[in-house]
Amino acid sequence: MIDRNKLIKGLLIITGIFVLVCTLTQISRKNSMTLEDYAKQNPEIAYMEKPEATPTPTPNLQQATSTLNDDLTGKISTDTEATQTTVSLPNNSSESQESTLIGATLNGDAVIDQRTTYEDGFYYEPLSENLQRYITGVSFPSTTQTEDEKNTNSSTDLGISYDDLSYVHVLHYDFAGNLAEGELICNRAIAQDFVEIFYELYQNEYQIEKMHLIDEYDGDDTASMEDNNTSCFNYRVVAGSTSLSKHALGLAIDINPLYNPYITYEKDETGQITKENVSPVSATAYADREISFPYKIDENDLCYKLFVEHGFTWGGNWNSCKDYQHFQKTVK
């Protein structure tokens, strides 16, 4: 005979086990429920989906390089890329920086084996093919237009060739007293003079507002002067004449020209001055050299003393006109 008590106890145990299994199953289902499922079952609870990450665009290095070259030169053929040059900082610093100057960028390391370094940041070297291309038709006359022009504008006829020129890189202090890079193209015969002079000016914190290739001004001397840009080589004639300037041979330089203008005089029959013509016109306020003002070059100025020590003559000492910005040198 079946023990009634044992049967009831067994049924209770089985029932208990069944309830426990169901409970555990429900808990398991709830724990495995996704956040979205839970939200659907509980609409009163708000939630936010994580936004998809915005992909970071991959830069097109080739396109960026092409754009840089186009912005800088507009002339370099697509099969020749300019590379930036690294400039060492002075005062025995181990740091270096990439130059932002057009000439330094175009020369890059192409002629570094022919570079002459005077001090860190002060060097000169030949013009690379990229730099030659950049100045041709601007500060350097184009010699590849027509056969007739080739015959009449040869390097021999010009009196100057690319090989006669040097690219010069210097450091200087601008009008805010900040250290800045400067660059010039000059006759290679005075390149050593330039690095020595500008190094002395730099050591004495002499302020020059800017020193960029005049090609950045499309070879326009007036525009360069109005921007107070210090420049050297530019194949052009003397203003108001048909005679080649010393700038055309890379043997003259204009320093802070806005504050040291070029002045010509008109005289009457008695030789009395009736009118002054100041270039640039915006520099008229600085034509009076009797007054004192910053950046004025006179015989007490360090810039004047250094250039004269190196054998240059000063336009401020001329008689028929005055060119207070101008220093030039005669070489054999």
Distance, CA of 143 to chain centre: 28
DSSP code per residue over 72-139 = HTS-S-TT----PPEEE-STT---EEE---HHHHHHTTTTGGG-EEEETTEEEEPPPHHHHHHHBTTT
> pLDDT 10s per residue in the chain (332 long)?
556 666 677 777 777 676 665 555 554 444 444 444 434 444 443 433 433 433 433 333 333 334 334 544 444 443 445 566 666 556 544 455 677 899 999 999 999 999 999 999 999 999 999 999 999 999 999 865 444 444 444 444 788 999 999 999 999 999 999 999 999 999 999 999 999 999 999 999 999 999 999 999 999 999 999 999 999 999 988 777 778 889 999 999 999 999 999 999 888 777 776 778 999 999 999 999 999 999 999 999 999 999 999 999 999 999 989 999 999 999 98
DSSP β-ladder status, 86-88 and 96-98 = antiparallel
3-state secondary structure of 327: strand
Assess whether the previous peptide bond of 280 is cis (omega < 30° from 0). yes
Quote the pTM value.
0.71
- B/e letters for 298-328, b = 16+ CB within 10 Å, e = fewer, are eeebebbebbeebebbbbbeeeebbbbbbbb
Picking from 193, 195, 192, 188, the residue whose alpha carbon sits closest to that of residue 169 is: 195
DSSP β-ladder status, 96-98 and 321-323 = unpaired
Number of residues that this document lists for the chain: 332
Boundaries of every domain in the chain: 72-328
